[in-house]
Amino acid sequence: MFFSPLQSIPPDAILGLMTAYQADPSPRKVDLSVGIYREESGETPVMQAVREAEIHIINEQATKAYISPIGIEGFRASVADLVFGDEARALRPRTACLQTVGGCGALRVASSIYRRAVNNGAAYVSAPTWGNHFGLLGGAGLHVNEYPYYDLKRHLLHIDQMLDCLRHAPARSLVVLQVGCHNPTGADPNSTEWDAILDVIEERSLLPLFDLAYQGMGTSLDADAMPVRKAAKRFSELMVAVSTSKNFGLYRERAGALVALAEIPSQVETLESQMKDITRGMYSMAPAHGALIVERILGDAHLRAEWCKELEAMRLRIDRYRQRLKAALQARRPDLDLDWLTRQRGMFSLLGIGRDDVETLRRERHIYMVGDSRINIAGLNDDNLEVVASSVAALLK
Ligand SMILES: Cc1ncc(COP(=O)(O)O)c(C=O)c1O
């Protein structure tokens, strides 16, 4: 017997909720759990720009031969441009870029690169963070530490504690910094706070790994990338894990990139050879379709403009429902300061209610959210907003 020693592993908290939601027969059920964008109908549509790009690709594609192990040239170049903006051209000679299997693939390869480069290095993620950071960094053999990030009682960043923790991190540690639309809190540092974070990174010689999974869904494509661009001006080395799952709606196509800045141009080839070696030993190379779509959209003025408009519509819908939820809750709880709901960005916020209450909401009201009370604002719509507000209001602290 080979497999009999294996123990069954409980489903990932969020994926388990997805299954429970699908199995719930209630017509009133509300899904605020999984982190995907939804429109008013509750659907996650294929963006129009993506559809148009796909038609071109299908019509023109002459082969299904392997792409290059480093990825599709046009995709890699245009993603690096999107991340670095006006700085991209100047940074190009120092930019290494690997096409990856989504943002997850980029985080995993980045962790392995760090592990190969730094002996006995330590890694840091925010407390709380997106749960899969532990699996992805831990999967590369890193021990994962946490820095304080969010004060759930006051719905504010723990910025002083965060800085203090990083000041005491061992030199040359890896620090994962979510850029914009923080998952699960929705709370992002402001520009001054980012400067202070980057100061500590410099002081302690830490290596920043920016997790850029929601570019364009917080404030704008440029504003959301601001911390990475600030860092690129200051530091000789950094890494960025890019996901196109959310901002292009390409979730299942698994298109992402690991962008890294090398200290000097001659190190780029070494860095990319290491990236290729790591993926070769895991899955050989990333799938082509999603990356071809992104390449096409970003390289075509008409498609790019259409995509920007659609991305803006997503962002505005999220903002609108942040305001509507706040108003509906405030009407029921005038005693509370709920400004944090509209100050936060992106799809996620933590309601700050107990795990028991989350469980009761699921059992009795068929409202699904993650156990830590993370809600996906994009799951709200005209039909469910009042039900959610009236079910949740009394539980808020
Ligand atoms: C913070 C964060 N980073 C990275 C990812 C990875 O995205 P994907 O691998 O689906 O592109 C996600 C997805 O939910 C995320 O929330």
* Same-domain status, 285 and 158: yes
- pLDDT tens, residue by residue, 292-330: 999 999 999 999 999 999 999 999 999 999 999 999 999
In percent, the amount of the chain with pLDDT more than 90 equals 96
CA atoms within 13 A on the CB side of 296: 20
- The verdict on the CB of residue 128 being under 6 Å from ligand 1 is no
Last residue of a domain, one of 299, 320, 341: 299
Of 210, 208, 206, 209, the C-alpha closest to 225 is 210
Residues 233 and 322 in one domain: no
Same-domain status, 293 and 310? no
Residue nearest to atom 15 of ligand 1 (CA): 213
Please answer whether residues 155 and 124 qualify as being in contact, where contact means their C-beta atoms are separated by less than 8 angstroms. no
Q: Mark which of 299, 332, 354 sits at the end of a domain.
A: 299
Do 363 and 261 belong to one domain? no
Q: How confident is the model at residue 10 (pLDDT cuts 50, 70, 90)?
A: confident
- pTM > 0.95: yes or no: yes
Which CATH number does the domain housing residue 357 bear? Answer: 3.90.1150.10
pLDDT confidence of residue 15: 82
Does ligand 1 lie within 6 Å of residue 130's CB atom? yes
- Measure the CA–CA gap between 231 and 202, rounded to whole angstroms: 10
Structural domain contains residue 3? no
Q: Is residue 54 part of a domain?
A: no
Judgement on whether residues 357 and 262 belong to the same structural domain of the protein: no
Q: Find out whether the peptide bond into 128 is cis, omega within 30 degrees of 0.
A: yes
Assess whether 356 carries a catalytic annotation.
no
Question: Do 232 and 313 share a domain, yes or no?
Answer: no
Tell me the CATH number at 195. 3.40.640.10
Residue 385's domain comprises 13-45+306-395
Alpha helices by DSSP H, 157-288:
159-167, 191-203, 221-224, 226-234, 266-280
Cα 238 to averaged position of ligand 1 atoms, centre (Å): 19
Q: Tell whether 228 is covered by a domain.
A: yes
Decide which of 299, 323, 341 is a domain's last residue. 299
Of 224, 246, 276, 357, the active-site residue reads: 246
What does the alpha-carbon distance between residue 50 and residue 306 come to, in Å, rounded to a whole number?
A: 10
**Residue 13 binned pLDDT confidence (cut-offs 50, 70, 90):** confident
CA distance 195 to 9: 41
Our CA angle for 68, 176, 222, nearest 5°, is 75
Q: Do both 211 and 318 map to the same domain?
A: no
Structure confidence by residue, pLDDT tens digits, 247-299: 999 999 999 999 999 999 999 999 999 999 999 999 999 999 999 999 999 99
Q: Are residues 246 and 332 in the same domain?
A: no
Runs of H (alpha helix) within 333-364:
340-343, 355-360
**What backbone torsions phi and psi does residue 175 show, to the nearest 5 degrees?**
-120, 120
Residue indicated by tokens 């920016």: 210
Summarize pLDDT for 108-165 with one digit per residue, the tens: 999 999 999 999 999 999 999 999 999 999 999 999 999 999 999 999 999 999 999 9
> Does residue 14 surpass a pLDDT of 90?
no
In a shared domain, residues 28 and 153: no
Instruction: Tally the domains of the chain.
Output: 2
Same domain, 120 and 181: yes
